[in-house]
Amino acid sequence: MSFGLNGGRMRRLVDSFRYAAFSVSDKSMSVDGKFIPSKEMRQQQMQQVYENFMKRLYCNRSWSMWLTFCEVLNLANIILQIYFTNQFLGGQFLKIGHEIFYKGLEPSVDVLDVVFPKVAKCTFHKYGPSGSIQSHDAMCIMALNIINDKIYTFLWFWFLFLLIASILGTAWRLVTYCLHARSHQFNETVFSMSCPGRLNPWDVVTVTKHCSYTDWLFLYYVSKNMDGIVFRELLIGLAEELDKRNPLTRKYGENETMIKKE
């Protein structure tokens, strides 16, 4: 979804560096149909990324808002589906999982018979000898409910999984929004997990300090979809570009750390 909401910019960026980690030659080459750029071409692509990122800094906020809105909408959709399904089954849907967990192992208890009875009393109408309609009590076998109870049991656990995943996703979005500009340690941890390998903490601080949430989120998704070596080089380049604009940023940060250590 994030690839589409940002106008395809992330997809183009990631695709252009898909095999850039293998750029060890002065000439571009093709291996099994895979294009590997030369070192010079890779550097040119990096420079374009630096320039584009700096131009769009603070100016491209809409797609992260739409992404967050879609995630909240997804959570609301799951909750509404659970609510309407429960209403459709007469308030019994929410009890299915609870009954299975606590009573499902008892062989004498069929926990779904209340919601989906397999045998029920019914009234059977037929014509009598005189041609009038006669009513007879009968026991009806409701074979379709054998399938229905399996379907709704699966739906209960499926909705539970989707609900938990949606809540965790929304909570993660809230955490990243609150901490991306407040915690340098959080940024170091997040980018280290997304991009295994040693990152210079001051490169992370220098870049994230100047990022809006949209820019931070864009950089986070790039780190998850780009080779670690290439992303490390990208992060260093962005930090250097920002240092040129704010030459005191890194020096101040390093002095601040030294004071804290003392």
Chain segment 188-210, per-residue pLDDT in tens: 888 877 666 677 788 888 888 87
Question: Each residue of 106-115: pLDDT tens digit?
Answer: 544 466 777 8
What's the confidence (pLDDT) of residue 105?
47
User: Of 138-152, 181-195, 224-238, where does the model show the most confidence?
Assistant: 138-152
**Backbone Cα Rg of the chain:** 30
pLDDT above 70 (res 221): yes
What's the confidence (pLDDT) of residue 253?
47
| Count of domains forming the chain | 2
pLDDT above 70 (res 261): no
Same domain, 124 and 204: no
CA distance 76 to 112: 27
Residue 233 covered by a domain: yes
Tokens of residue 243, six digits: 């240092």
CA distance 228 to 192: 9
Residue 66 covered by a domain: no
Domain coverage including residue 243: 2-56+180-261
Same domain, 99 and 37: no
CA distance 24 to 261: 40
Give the global pTM: 0.71
Domain end residue (candidates: 117, 148, 170): 170
Taking a C-beta distance cutoff of 8 angstroms, is the pair 85, 77 a contact?
no
CA distance 147 to 70: 34
